[in-house]
Each structure stands twice: as structure tokens, then as C-alpha cells.
Amino acid sequence: MKIICIGRNYADHAKELNNPLPVEPVFFMKPDTAYLPAGNDFYIPDFTKDLHYECEVVVKIKKVGKNIQEKFAASYYDEISLGIDFTARDLQEQCKAKSLPWEKAKAFDNSAPMGTHFIPVSALDLNDFHFTLKKNGTAVQNGHTADMIFSIDKIIAFVSQYVTLKTGDLIFTGTPAGVGPVAIGDHLEGFIGEEKILDLRIK
């Protein structure tokens, strides 16, 4: 299982980080060791002083695919959930300043906590649903899939040109505006509509 993450897929988030809007999907990868199953607490690593949450819709790939045409992309997944793309923002800024890769800021152990369960895509309009991240009971991110620059199907078609998708792979589809820091004792909760999908405590 590999984790494929899409960057800058919501215009407002790109603007809040002073990044230009992409003309094609920007993607990076996290190893399987980044995966943190639901029910586990997240422990802030010692190497960062500025750890940020980024809540994202996550798609689970259900069969192997390569060079997938966009019109067939929907047949490669049938479940979605929410996850957090944790980012050591201080390390990321250091890497960007030196034009270096971001792996140490994005791909560290447990940096991809997952929701408690997946929802069948048949229960949602994938191009038009709302998701929310709350920190300590206050909404900090409000995302709407209609605001994605690149749809899920476009992402799958693009990424599969370069990387073969395999059963169980997870695609984090980008985060909306509102990212921010976490501290020990914080409680993160993610919702699709009114349904609670993600529950994570920071240690």
C-alpha cells in the first residue's frame, strides 16, 4: 500500500501558502509507515516545532490500474474517507528555501492518520459534498469538493500515467484553506456532512 498526496488542489489553500495555482495535479508520496490507523493517538515528533494539520478526502483504490483514462477512473474506487496529511511546516519551509524535496516534512512515520471508516461513493455526489475538520470543538477547515481544482477522476487519470495504482492504495486529494498548527492535548474531528469520520488526539 502506498499513499499518494495531491498538493494545491484548492485555490484558497494555495493562496494562504503563497503558492501559484497548478496547471496539472501536483503529487508527492508517503510510505506505508506514514499510515496511522484509526484508534491510535498521534505523537508529535521531536524534530518539528510547527506541525500543521491538513484534512483531506481520501480515496481507496480497489484494483490495479495504469494509464487510466479519466472516463474509466470511477471504476477504480468505490469508497472514500477522511485523513490528515500532517506537515512539519518548519522543515518544509527549510526544504523549499533550498529547492530540496519535502519528504522529511511530509513522509515521516504516522504522518497520515486515517478516518474510522469509509463511505460508499454511491452515497455521495463526489463533485458536490462538504467536509469539516474541528479542532477542540471549533471548525477550522470547511471543504467542498466542488472547489477542487482537479476532480478525483482527473487525479487518478493523471497519476496513473506515472505510477501504477494498486489495490489498497490511498489517494489524499488535497486540503482546503484553514490549515494550522496542533499542540499536545488537541482533539481533531473530521466530518463528511454530519457524519463523524475521523477522531484523533494529539499527544
Taking the model in full, what pTM does it have? 0.95
Burial 73-83 (b: 16+ CB within 10 A, else e): beebbbbbbbb
DSSP secondary structure string for all residues of 149-195 = SS-HHHHHHHHTTTS-B-TT-EEE----S--EE--TT-EEEEEETTE
Distance of CA 117 to the CA centre of its chain: 15
Distance CA 127, CA 120 (A): 14
Q: d(Cα 101, Cα 117) in Å, to the nearest integer?
A: 32
- pLDDT tens-digit profile, the chain (203 residues): 899 999 889 977 656 666 777 889 999 999 999 999 999 999 999 999 999 999 999 999 999 999 999 999 999 999 999 999 999 999 999 999 999 999 999 999 999 999 999 999 999 999 899 999 999 999 999 999 999 999 999 999 999 999 999 999 999 999 999 999 999 999 999 999 999 999 999 99
Residue 76 has phi, psi (to 5 degrees) of -100, 5
Q: Is 133 helix (H, G, I), strand (E, B) or coil?
A: strand
**Closest CA relative to residue 141, chosen from 92, 192, 104:** 192
Sheet bearing 138-144, strands edge to edge: 138-144, 130-135, 187-192, 195-201
